Structure 1
Amino acid sequence: MVTQSNPHFFTIWAKERLDEMDAAVTSLEGKVAEVQADVRDKAEKILAELRKQRDDFRDTMKKQSEANEAAWIQAKAKLEDDWRSFEAEVRKYVESFGKQIEHQQAMFKLQADAQLKAWREAADKLGSDAKKFASERRGDIDAAVKRMNADAVEAEKKLEKLNQAGTQSWSALMAALTETRAAFDRANEAAREAFKRAA
């Protein structure tokens, strides 16, 4: 019998956020040279702060990787605050320096791709983990994984549609990512509960 520890699901949650952080930082690093020379120093300082926030998030995630569920629940609250702070800094950067729609679209595309990759990896990992359970105990898990895959397809369609439109406001693009991120969280939580019931 396999016992699936709940911290695994918290790691899935944190990795999705970290992948989006990496995508945002990568996008901004590629565009900082295009910022007007008179404000480039300020842009580079904000970018340095974003890198630090991402690295701190990664360090906390790594420290928690072997922690028990109670420790993860406590750490997740801090990581959620860190995530919101990171999003606020990105928003400040975009509003100050990344007003060109191309910059916004490029960042959205990278973050959407990171989010969708996290969906696929989570579904694949959970599907693989589900095979370790006896068949009579896998029904809920298989259903949760199937639902996660279906939700991922829907999220991908929504994000691709916005990406192709190309004229959406930054706030509309971020609202779409927030919506699909919340769907990912719900799917991850449903899978977590299914594994708990089957264990």
Structure 2
Amino acid sequence: MVTQSNIHFFANWAKERLDEMDATVISLESKAAEVQADVRDKAKKVLADLRSQRDDFRDTMKKQSEANEAAWIQTKAKLEADWGLFEAEVKKYVESFGKQIEHQQATFKLQADAQLKAWREVAEKLGSDAKKFASERRGDIDAAVKRMNADAIEAEKKLEKLNQAGTQSWSALMAALTETRTAFDRANEAAREAFKRAA
């Protein structure tokens, strides 16, 4: 039987995406006044759509909070599609209305900060959860947590380096976030498997 503690790995995945969505919407809203007057109404509509997508994502995630693993797996597929649509809409917004490099950098920084915060929170929670297992069954879990912490440090270095450069294109910044997000997903899945083996 899968324990509720194994379910939180799916929630970790969803929360990381939701945190990035929140950061993105906050950043774009803070720069909305800088959008040229002739396209401001169009930009406001896109922002409203982004807020709605984020809220729908959050609502779906909340509804799943007590679901079993099979339900989470099914919902994760829907949330992945929703995430992809959100990313595409953000890209379109930035290319249409947020062409100033400072606007892109500010959005990237908030997204990167949200992602790194999620890494730290998950690693801390996994470390705490690992203590609940007998020491002879904790080896894989401790290794997975250690690997997640090391991956988080590497991701932070990479994202900070890009942020300091300040002249990267939007696509390069998003590629870096995608790369570190994928590393987070791998680390989260490795930890999930380690917990399953130890259970």
Using structure 2 for the length normalisation, give the TM-score. Answer: 0.98
Please give the root-mean-square deviation of Cα atoms over the aligned residues, in Å. 1.0
**Sequence identity, in percent?**
89
Q: How does 1:8-87 map to 2 (within 5 A)?
A: 8-87=8-87
Query: Which residue does the alignment assign to 1:110?
Result: 110
Instruction: Give the Cα–Cα distance (whole angstroms) in 2 for the partners of residues 88 and 55 of structure 1.
Output: 17
**Structure 1: 4+ residue segments shifted above 3 A:** none
Deviations 1:11-70 (A, max 9, x none): 000000000000000000000011011100000000000000000000000000110000
Query: Which residue does the alignment assign to 1:165?
Result: 165
Query: Which residue does the alignment assign to 2:89?
Result: 89
Superposed displacement of residue 5, structure 1: 3.3
Matched residue SS, 2:99: coil
Matched residue SS, 1:141: helix
Instruction: Give the Cα–Cα distance (whole angstroms) in 2 for the partners of residues 177 and 4 of structure 1.
Output: 29
Query: Which residue does the alignment assign to 1:190?
Result: 190
Superposed displacement of residue 7, structure 1: 1.6
Instruction: Give the Cα–Cα distance (whole angstroms) in 2 for the partners of residues 166 and 37 of structure 1.
Output: 26
Superposed displacement of residue 95, structure 1: 0.4
Q: Is the 8 A contact 1:115 1:181 kept in 2?
A: yes
Aligned positions, number: 198
Instruction: Give the Cα–Cα distance (whole angstroms) in 2 for the partners of residues 64 and 129 of structure 1.
Output: 21
Aligned partner letter, 2:36: Q
Deviations 1:135-157 (A, max 9, x none): 11000000000000000000000
Superposed displacement of residue 4, structure 1: 5.2
Instruction: Give the Cα–Cα distance (whole angstroms) in 1 for the partners of residues 128 and 61 of structure 2.
Output: 23
Instruction: Give the Cα–Cα distance (whole angstroms) in 2 for the partners of residues 5 and 69 of structure 1.
Output: 10
